Amino acid sequence: MLNASSTEPDFLEGNCLIVNIDPDLTVVASYRPPSFKNTTKYLNSLENVLSTICSPNIVLTGDININTLDATSGPVQDYLILIAMQGLRVGITHPTRLDNCLDHFMVKTRKKWKTVVFEQPLTDHCPILLSIDCAALSTNVSNSKKVVLNYEGINSLLLKETWNDIYLASDANIAAELFTKKLLEIININKYFIDVRKKYRPLNHGSLEVL
């Protein structure tokens, strides 16, 4: 089991939760309300948080309400410069609400990683997903094993899913739990372990990628 701890730092004009997973990964989850038009205080708080993190693998994620597709905007440029100065890379480059990219993954790692935007929105925003090659991170899986995902299989099941129980949920927290549970079920169906000491060739599973 992974060891995780969380802290909530002082933060202006937004919310922030820092989750440390073992010594190898830190996830910074943040929300910035769109009612704050000036981003200066938020960005200052974000810079203070990111500057204190020593983990080699960092993920910033959340509904930031800064449209990173609008490269001509001053606040967007300030945000992207801050992200770059902290060594993070932009993970989402497609719209997550209408024509705007407001939900972000900013990633700092030497591991392989990829992101997905689910184009069918469950709310007024499209869900986003990040996977990182965690073979070198602390897990209970033997060092001789790697976790492999069949992304074609995952995509096929996602396209067939109706999400009716989520749409019918009257509470956002319940809807989020149902979505997470269903997503994990689909991932587990399409998850494999391979022995890295042996030559591995995927058979009849579509394209496979290491998570």
Mean pLDDT over 95-99 rounds to 94
Is the predicted pLDDT of residue 205 greater than 50, yes or no? no
> Which one, of 114, 111, 62, 113, lies nearest residue 83 by Cα?
62
Mean pLDDT over 1-14 rounds to 89
How much is the pLDDT for 204?
46
Q: Cα separation of 124 and 96, whole Å? A: 9
Beta strand 25-31 pairing with 57-63: parallel
How much is the pLDDT for 118?
85
Domains of the chain, start order:
1-113 (3.60.10.10), 141-211 (no CATH)
Q: For 151, what's the count of Cα atoms within 13 Å in the CB-facing half-sphere? A: 11
- For residues 43 and 16, is the Cβ–Cβ distance under 8 A? no
pLDDT tens digits for range 100-153 = 999 999 999 999 999 989 887 678 899 899 988 875 555 444 456 677 888 888
Q: Cα separation of 191 and 204, whole Å? A: 14
| Assigned token pair, 184 | 């994990």
